[in-house]
Structure 1
Amino acid sequence: MHVPPVYRRWVTCPEPRPQASLRLFCFHFAGGDASAFRLWTTQLPASIEVCPIELPGRATRRSEAPITRFPELLDKLANMMLPFIKQRPFAFFGHSFGGITAFELTRWMRRNKAPLPVHLFLSACPALHLRQQPAPRISHLSDTAFLDEIAARFGTPREVLASEDVRAEVLPALRSDALVAESYHYAPEPPLEVPISSFGALQDPEVSREEAEAWRHQTTAGFRLRMFPGNHFFLATQRRKLFQALLEDLAPQFP
């Protein structure tokens, strides 16, 4: 298969699986990068080709200028992904900030009559119609105050955010993603004809069970809520249980 250059930039594929029946596009959390899904590429079945998204301004794309406005991010990402969503069935998985991206990308695909995912997985992400009042802005704060706010909102250990490595590697991406989040505004649209699975955590200070459950109002094609042990970053600690949930919910699409 010919692999366009974009396959190593916006859309990454650490382990190409040309015979896979499904592509799973994974959208990272704020300040994160495609490496958050590194183990997914080898630990999910061969029938699934895992394609983590890598946004500019971080990790392998650190030398590129970050995007700081959500509408620009959505349009660029959608157009970069179009060649890949037309090749085979696909699903979206987004964690936290990545959940917003996955949800709005699905609605962009519908508005533009592009193929839709067979399933939408939204993890540690509140139903956006419940949060139409924006959270207080933090992108303008000093480094210390900014990281204090991140720790308070998401339960990130302060000793982690205080490390020099985090400040050097993660802080620039966190700030650009904060600007993107602050430019996002939810607009009502009809529910999607795409099944939605919502994953929450029992000790998440940022997303309540009720906010995770309210995603059921954004679909007419089936909904399931699962709550996992842990905090906002249960993505790493509950990986095996997440895999089991993904496979269970994808099974009706591939009997």
Structure 2
Amino acid sequence: MTGSWLMSWHPAPTGRPTLLCVPPAGAGCAQFRAWQQEAGDDIAVLGVQLPGRENRWLDPSPASVGDAVDAVLAELADRVAPGQPLVIFGHSFGALLGYEIAKALLAYGRTPPKALVVSAVRPPEHWVAQSPGRRLADDGLADLNLLLDARGLSADDLDEDSRELMLEVLRRDAELSASYHPRWGTGIVCPLEAWGGTDDATVRADHVAGWADYADGGFQQRMFPGGHYFCLEDPRTALQLLGPMTVQVPAMEGKTR
């Protein structure tokens, strides 16, 4: 028996505007519990929980990004009613999953999200170009240290077993990203925001701007102080934007930066 693909921390989430959060590679969605506390009772925060981490250590990995998206949508149908306000937020590799979830909702005849926010991620064409050779460098330690840095830690702070467990999650996510191919075309009909960190060495401002080519429903680029995990280090800033956006999305005319 496998665990749920979605986690909720709201005592009564049914019928409320919903913020669906997809974590970066190597991470679980427990970090979004604090986002629910920050968002308050008016918004239900849902986290996407991929297999192989936190409460799903023993669950097998999906064969492809498409399989993961379909599994999320199957559960989302029971959590978000037709017409219920939904905003999707994804960070790094999680943003790519969020992008595919947003497209799949429309492709399957479901209510599209009010907005999609992609954070610290290059546009899809980069992932397609890199997928065949996608591997972790230096046995994954560089990726692990980048992930841990957002929590003020490094791989040296972990015992050997914990370090290997986290590296295994990163390896599984790297293999999953290697399976990526866009489905349902490329354009997003809902408003799309792309966020980046000014000090991010892996995703530059011009990469973030490249998402404008995928925004058929309006585009806005935002740059924040910090590195690759800028909004996970300072969730309050993210929620100050995502909270009001979930309740009422302002109109975006054209593609602005």
TM-score, scaled to structure 1: 0.84
Question: 1:72-118, CA deviations, whole angstroms, 9 ceiling, x for partnerless residues?
Answer: 22222222222223252211111111100000111111221112111
Q: Is the 8 A contact 1:201 1:230 kept in 2?
A: yes
Letter in 2 for 1:178: A
Which secondary structure does the structure 2 equivalent of 1:170 belong to? helix
- Inter-partner Cα distance in structure 1 for 2:16 and 2:249: 10
* Structure 2 residue aligned with 1:93: 89
- The verdict on how the C-alpha distance between 1:32 and 1:108 changes in structure 2, with shifts beyond 3 A counting, is same
* Structure 2 residue aligned with 1:203: 199
* Structure 1 residue aligned with 2:181: 185
* Structure 1 residue aligned with 2:114: 118
* Structure 1 residue aligned with 2:210: 214
Q: Is the 8 A contact 1:24 1:90 kept in 2?
A: yes
2:135 is aligned with 1:138: yes
Higher mean alpha-carbon deviation, 32-41 vs 60-69, is at 60-69
Letter in 1 for 2:140: L
Q: Is the 8 A contact 1:15 1:50 kept in 2?
A: yes
State how 1:36-47 maps to structure 2 within 5 Å.
36-47=31-42
- Inter-partner Cα distance in structure 2 for 1:10 and 1:77: 6
Deviation beyond 4 Å, 4+ runs, structure 1: 154-159
**Offset of residue 186 of structure 1:** 3.5
**Offset of residue 53 of structure 1:** 1.3
- The verdict on how the C-alpha distance between 1:159 and 1:54 changes in structure 2, with shifts beyond 3 A counting, is closer
- Inter-partner Cα distance in structure 1 for 2:225 and 2:195: 11
219, 222, 225: which one aligns with 1:226: 222
Aligned Cα root-mean-square deviation (Å)? 2.9
* Structure 1 residue aligned with 2:155: 161
77, 83, 89: which one aligns with 2:78: 83
The alignment covers a number of residue pairs equal to 245
* Structure 1 residue aligned with 2:58: 63
Q: Is the 8 A contact 2:144 2:170 kept in 1?
A: no
2:73 is aligned with 1:72: no
Letter in 2 for 1:50: V
- Inter-partner Cα distance in structure 2 for 1:172 and 1:151: 10
Q: Any gaps of 5 or more consecutive residues in structure 2? A: 252-257
* Structure 1 residue aligned with 2:140: 147
- Inter-partner Cα distance in structure 1 for 2:122 and 2:189: 19
Percent identity, please: 24
Higher mean alpha-carbon deviation, 158-167 vs 242-251, is at 158-167
Letter in 1 for 2:106: R
* Structure 2 residue aligned with 1:32: 27
96, 102, 105: which one aligns with 1:106: 102
Q: Is the 8 A contact 2:187 2:216 kept in 1?
A: yes
Letter in 2 for 1:242: A
Question: 1:54-88, CA deviations, whole angstroms, 9 ceiling, x for partnerless residues?
Answer: 12211011122222522222222222222223252
